[in-house]
Every structure is written in structure tokens, then in C-alpha cells.
Chain A
Amino acid sequence: MPESYPREHIEDLVDDNLEWNQLHNMMSDFKDADRFQKVRDVLQDRVDWDDPIIIPYADHLYVVAKSDTRWVIKCDCGHEFCEHDENWKTDALINVRDSEEEYLEIYPEDMHPHPEYMELREFFCPGCKTLLEVTNVMPGYPLVHEFEPDIETFYEEWIDEPIPAPEGQSA
């Protein structure tokens, strides 16, 4: 077990360049202690903006520090959604599949949900139009706020590190 993987290995993970046997080994091994920091650093190199990444939030999305007190959810295209503890979906674009015809674009006949019972909500980034999440819910269901990370506890108690802040404002 590596206590930590070499940076190149983590870059390959982030860039999707690992072979199956390497991935399998990573799954089977004990977890490396500094994975979070390594992945965060590689991601920071990969994005085109300078706001420090606090955590990877979801595919394409990050919680970044705008100041030492303000953290926002940001897409890798640069679009900024909302404060980190709000639901980014309220600032997204939405398309709802709730008819037989729209379902048939993705699924064969009889193999999709009944539109009166379930709709597919597709949420896009207003910046790059990437499809960020698809939810399948009953019609009339409120938006679900999937993830509220407890960033302070994580940094202060779990990994014992300062929370990243823009330069000159380090916490």
C-alpha cells in the first residue's frame, strides 16, 4: 500500500489515463492518507481560474473560496452558481422529460418510466451547458439539495489543515 501515490498517478486518475488493473489495485488497497490534498492540487492545476478549490463538489463543480468568509459553488467553465450551502440547481437551466416522445429519445418503448408517474429533470450549467445532474422524481416534487458538506469540521477536525483562501487572506 502506498501511504500516498506519486502525483503523476493521481494526475492519471484525474485525467482518466489509468488502466483497469491500476484502478483495480487502487480499489483493493488501503486508502492513501493524502488523496484529498493531491486530487485537489491536480484539479487546481486543471482549471482555468485562480479561486482556491476548497473541495471538489460534484463532477465539474467545486466549492471555491472567493474570500476567507465567502465560499461559492463554481463550474469548471467558470460559471458561479451560489453560496456553498445553497442548492446550485436553483441557478441552473432545466429541461424536463415528461412525455412519451421525450422518453423515447433515450429509452425503447415500454422501458421508460410512465410520464404521469415520473419525470426526468435535466440540469445544465448556464455557462457551458454541460448536463450536471439528472433526477427522476414524481411530478410536483421539490428540488432536492443533495449535498451540504460540513467544510469546517472536515478541515479543522478531520484533516487538520487551514481552509484554503485567496492569497493574502489565508485563514
Chain B
Amino acid sequence: MSGYVMASSENNPSEHHNAEILSIDAGGTMTDTFLMDSNGEFTVGKAKTTPNDESRGFIRSSQDALEDWDLSVEEGFPNLVSTVYSGTAMLNRLVERESEVDVGILITGGMEDTPRMGRGRQSYTGYSYSDRLHVNTHKHPDPLIPRNQIRGVRERIDVKGNALVPLYEADVRDGVHDLLDQDVDHIVVMYLHSYKNGEHEQRTQEIAREIIDERGTDTSVMLSSEYYPTLKESERLNTVTAEAFAAEPSRDQLTNIQNSVDEQGGNVGVRVMASHGGTIDIHANELARTLISGPIGGMIGANYFGEQIGYDNLVCTDIGGTSFDMGVIIDNDWQIDYSPEMARLLLSLPMVNMESVGAGTGSYVRVNPTFDKIELGPESAGDQVGVSAVETDVETVTVTDCHVALGWIDPDNFLGGDMPIDRDVAEREIEEQVAEPLGMGVYEAAQGVIDILESKLQNDLEAVVTGEGYAPSNFKCLSYGGGGPVHTAGYTEDLGFDEVLIPEWAAGFSAFGCGAADYEYRYDQTTSIDIDADLSMEEAAATAGEELTTVWKNLEQKVEDEFKNSNIGRSEIDFQYNILGQYQGQLNSIDIESPVSRVDSPEKLERLIDTFEAEYRRTYSEEARSPELGHTVTQASVRGVRDVVKPEIPTEEKQGPAPPEDAFKDTREAYWDGEWMETQVYELHSLQPGNELTGPAVMEGAATTYALPPDCETYLDEHRVHHLRRTE
């Protein structure tokens, strides 16, 4: 389980390392460590995940990484200045619908079936395009909480926030007693429109706490008006329930991790990666924000990378075994999706917006017998690679098999030789499963598969960029993930990106990103602040402007309170203010970063509206603008960021264009666009900044292969980032 040093190939391995940044990702089976020292050099470690006490896996994985630098945990930990943890335990509780705790729900009377009815959408969330059409496949997932742990309380707050039905307090008492009889650990309270007026929920909490005290239990009461107070009851309820059901049980685990860091002499607060793209303290109120963190690490890393190097607009692309994840960074900021789907539940968590398509290097390749055409996925062999991986039991050809057949991947050196690959098997199976049914040659078919995948990725990528109202030429495309660099040239072809970049540490880029995440809290509040078209700017500022300002101030306070938990004062926090805005009557809003932190004057309000109009024109079109309808602010958000120590981007001296001799490995025949060509093979990590290569070439790294087709060239810059270019 040894780590590899990529960013510092020329350094003396016995040199002393001062481990500063520790980023740990505890997956379902393995816990990965990314460790960086004060010089920006880094290494990785691995250990088995230990679900019963995650701190053991945490320590062992850290140890594995530290050993590369001849350090023990006791020696390494005291120097740490930043420690970020992300785990899958929370998400697993949701996926498995199993938790250590029991949760009861008090809901607006009459709406008790809300979780089991679950929105029709949940019966096909996460399905492939064809299954979404194919109605026989639709099935509702189990609700998080069974119906008999849900009690109705008669009350109603209406859409304007007025009490239509008063709180029936006797219902609260009956409900609380019933749930306590069932020994629930948490009582979640969710009433309709409570995001707008939480009085009924608060009174419910008072009554419940009285009863809990009387009965001497340690049940907690959680209100949807305090956690995630956003419009849409099913999403709000799912989220606050997930907080109780999946996130709360992790608090002990996280405390254990903090304790073991402390015991080993560490003097650093463990932070957790959150879906909104920042890290939060393990004592944060809304811990369910950390349910989803893994895939967004890359986006955060890309953004950080862009900030450091001076790239404002980036398209991030990450290819793994099963999926292709894409995201857009504009002016060094990402976009937020406010209703992501996770574990087949709709949630109301702010999450870094990424598009994911079910196509990766492990995707199955099959011939549709109805149309005699090649189809990819949506199922995949995942980390089982393909039929050519003889130690696995994969039976269906995958994309990687095609690469093997075409000579792009060295059968003897896949994943550094850890995975035995048989090229003959790949060719035989491609022949049988793909080429023969289509009446094609085997290499032609293999090439065809890759072309189809790459043009699909190209289309999806283009859609993500143009869907935001931009052209690819506004962006640099960053390609990472273990499977990325082998396809980069293919899926970026013809799109016209400003530049195509491949960091040499592509395979470890997501872990790098987690280490680069800010310390950040963000709070969102659903609003319905109308800025009517017939008001003067003065009138609007005095009404709508004041209202929005008040909401922002409240959210600011919440952010401040969270930081206070970690003894961080207001002066250390950078605030950012956002709104979701729309034309009156619309249902969809767009996310605007406000140029002002208060809108209590006509000038400031005008600046905010101007920003909205510019964004709307760009996103949809001039034809789609409708300012004559007036505007509505549907959500206000405040983000508070506090600086933390980040990984260094390596900067090395440039050498000449010719690669050093020891970087050259071999030549072999590979198939490029219908032709077998002699192809040079290099050791990826032995190339030097300043080196230039012309295709056809293949660069083999420890966990990734970078393919350079004949009409391409690449240049390695001083940050160990490859720049891919077409030669024509």
C-alpha cells in the first residue's frame, strides 16, 4: 500500500517532510489519504475502512501515507494545520435505510403520507433515459421513516405565512407521547410553509420538550423551520429527517476521530467536506450538508487551481469507471443545485452543481439487436475493468477493453501492473460481441466504440457549457480522474476550448480538491419578495430592499454563530451574498451573486437588478427577458468563508522541450483513426516541465494513461500541468 510521489519526482526521498495538510476520504471499503507537506509535495495512503469505529481506519490510512516520508503518526500529526475528513457512512445510512437511531415525525395533520408518497418523481430518480420512459420499471423507494412513526398535528400556515388553522396543541401532546412510547431518539417537526412562519413548529418544540422532560428521556426535537427552511415540503422533510436519521449518528464517530487526532498530538480541528463546496466543523448544526462530498472535491480543487494560476473560467471533467462528471466554474465560483437527488430522495441541500452521465471507462458495450447499433451503458463493470481483466468475472465488453485492443493501454502495466490484462481476450470478445453482429472489423469496431463514447461526452460537455449561455471558447477545460486523460483528446475535439489542461496528478485530483476546500458556512432562506414593475426604485428599496436586507442580516448572524462554535470571530469571516431571482410568476429562479451586501438604497437595488438582467440574458437569450413583469426574490443566501491553509501548486523550473531519456519507455503499435502506427510510450511522471511531445504517444502513469493522438501535441508547464493542442 505504498504511496507515490508525483509532484516531486526529482526530490531526494530522504528529505525531511513537514506534513501540513491531511485530507481523508473514507469510502465504503477503503479509506484514502492525501497528505501534503509545506513544500507542496504530496503522497497518498490507504487502509481498510472500519465502519464500527471510523477513527481506526483514519489513523491507519494516515499512517500509511506518513510512512512514505518515514514519519510516524506521532511525528506527523503535531505539524498538521488542516485536516479534512469525508466519509460515506451518512450516505450509506440513507441508501440502506438503516440507522442506529429511531426517528419520529410530527407533520401537518392530514399530510402523514407525505414521506411514503414521496413525490412521484422518486419512483424513477436516478434511472436511465429509457427506464424513465419505461413505466413498468418505476418503483418508489422505501421511505426513510415508516408511516407508524409519523403523527399528524392539525394546524396550517398558509402560503403568505398566516395561520389558517391554529395549532391543535392536544394533537402535539398525543403525538409526542405516541412517539416516545415507540422510543424514538429524535422527533422531527415539519409543518407546511413553516419556512415562512415557524411559530407552530416552535410552540410544538416547547410542548414536546416539556413532555420529554416529564418522561425523563433524552429525545431531541428538530424543526424544519430551523434546519433547511426552504420551500417544498417533501424535500425539506427528507432533509431534516436525513439530519436526524443519517447525520446525527455520525457526530460520535467524528468526535472519536477528533479525539484520536488529539491523542496523537495533533493540534488541529477536524473539518468535514460539505456539499456546498466548503468544509464545516464537526460541531456544525446542519451536519447533513456533509452527506455528499466525494465527487465535488475535484470541482473545489479545480477552482482553487484556477485561482492560484489565474484561470477564471474552467470546465471540469472527471472520468471514472462508471460516470463522467462535469461542472462549470465561472469567475472562480461554482453554481449551486438547491434540490439534488441522493439515495433516491429529493433533498433541499445546497450542492455544487455537477452534471453526471452514466458513461465511463467501465461502461458496457452492447449491440442493440433491434436497431443493430452500438449502445454504451448505463450499466458498467465499475472497478472490474472489463473482460480483458482475467481475474474478474466480467462477461461484457467495456470501453477499457477497446483501449486494450487498440494498443493504447499496456496490458502488462495496467494500474502499475496490479491488474493482469489479457489483450487476446479483449480482441476475441470484441470480435464476438460487437464486430461480428455489425459486420465490422474488430479494430474498426473498437475504434467505433471509443468514437461513440467520446462524441457522447463531447455532446454532453457542450450542452453543459451552452446550457449556461456560454461558448466553450470562454473556458479552459480541465481533465482529471483516472479515466480522463486517455479520452481527453477525443472528447475535447472540435469544441474549441480556450485550452485543454491535464494535471499530472489527475488520478488524485479529487483528494487534492478536498484539501483545498475553504472553511465555509452557508445559510439559505426561502423568500417571496416581490419587486413590482410599477414601483419606483425608491419605493422598491424601501419595501422589497429592506425586506431582503433583513433576511440577509439574519442569515449572516447564523453563519457568525456557526463560526463562533469554533471560536472564530466575525472579523475573520468573508461574507458573500446571493439571491435566487426570477420574473414574477415564473417558477424557476437563477442564482445571482449580489454585487452588494445590503439593498437598502435605490442605487444598490438597481445594481442587484442589473446583475440579474445581465445573467438572464446570458443564460437564456435576449428574447426570453421579461422585465415588464417585475421581479421576485425567491431565496436569499449568505456564505461565510474563513481562510485555511491550502495545498501548494507545484512550481518547478522549466527544462528544454526534449524529454529526458529515462522518461522514454518503449515504442509499440497502436491503432489511431483507422491506422496502425508506431507509438512512443513515456513514463508520465518522469517528464519535465518544458517538455513537448507530438502524437502519436502514450504517457503511462501510476493510475492513469494519457493518450496523445497523431494530430495532437502536449506541453508540460512549470506546474506539472499538460497543455493539449491540435497540430493542424
Contacts and interface: CB of A to CB of B under 8 A. Distances in A.
A106 interface: no
B494 to A, nearest CB: 31
Given A27-B134, A28-B130, A28-B131, A1 B139 contact: no
Contacts of A24: 137, 139
Interface residues of A, number: 8
A89 to B, nearest CB: 27
B136 interface: yes
A27 B136 contact: yes
B29 interface: no
Nearest to B368: A30
Contacts of B134: 27-28
A20 interface: yes
Contacts, number: 20
B137 A1 contact: no
A30 B369 contact: yes
Nearest to B127: A28
A33 B437 CA distance: 14
Interface in B346-402: 366, 368-370, 396
B405 to A, nearest CB: 20
A171 to B, nearest CB: 28
Contact of A30 (B128, B131, B139, B370): B370
Interface string A52-88: 0000000000000000000000000000000000000
Contacts of B131: 27-28
Q: How large is the interface on B (under 10, 10 to 19, 20 to 34, 35 or more residues)?
A: 10 to 19
Interface in B98-151: 128, 130-131, 134, 136-137, 139
Contacts of A27: 131, 134, 136-137
Interface string A19-38: 01000100110110100000
Nearest to B131: A28
Contact of A28 (B137, B139, B396): B137
Given A28-B130, A28-B134, A20 B370 contact: no
Contacts of A33: 369
A16 B353 CA distance: 42
Contacts of A30: 366, 368-370
Nearest to A32: B369
Interface in A119-168: none
A3 to B, nearest CB: 9
Nearest to B128: A28
B130 A1 contact: no
Contact of A20 (B130, B139, B369): B139
Contacts of B139: 20, 24
Nearest to B369: A30
A33 B370 CA distance: 11
A20 B368 CA distance: 24
A94 to B, nearest CB: 31
A152 B48 CA distance: 62
B395 to A, nearest CB: 9
Contacts of B130: 28
A28 B375 CA distance: 13
Nearest to A2: B395
Contacts of B370: 30
Nearest to B364: A1
Contacts of A31: 369
Nearest to A33: B369
Interface of A: 1, 20, 24, 27-28, 30-31, 33
Q: What 8 A-B pairs come out closest when comparing CB atoms?
A: A27-B137, A1-B366, A27-B136, A24-B137, A30-B369, A28-B131, A30-B368, A28-B137
10 contacts: A24-B139, A27-B131, A27-B134, A27-B137, A28-B130, A28-B134, A28-B137, A30-B366, A30-B370, A33-B369
Given A20-B139, A27-B137, 18 more contacts: A1-B366, A1-B396, A24-B137, A24-B139, A27-B131, A27-B134, A27-B136, A28-B128, A28-B130, A28-B131, A28-B134, A28-B137, A30-B366, A30-B368, A30-B369, A30-B370, A31-B369, A33-B369
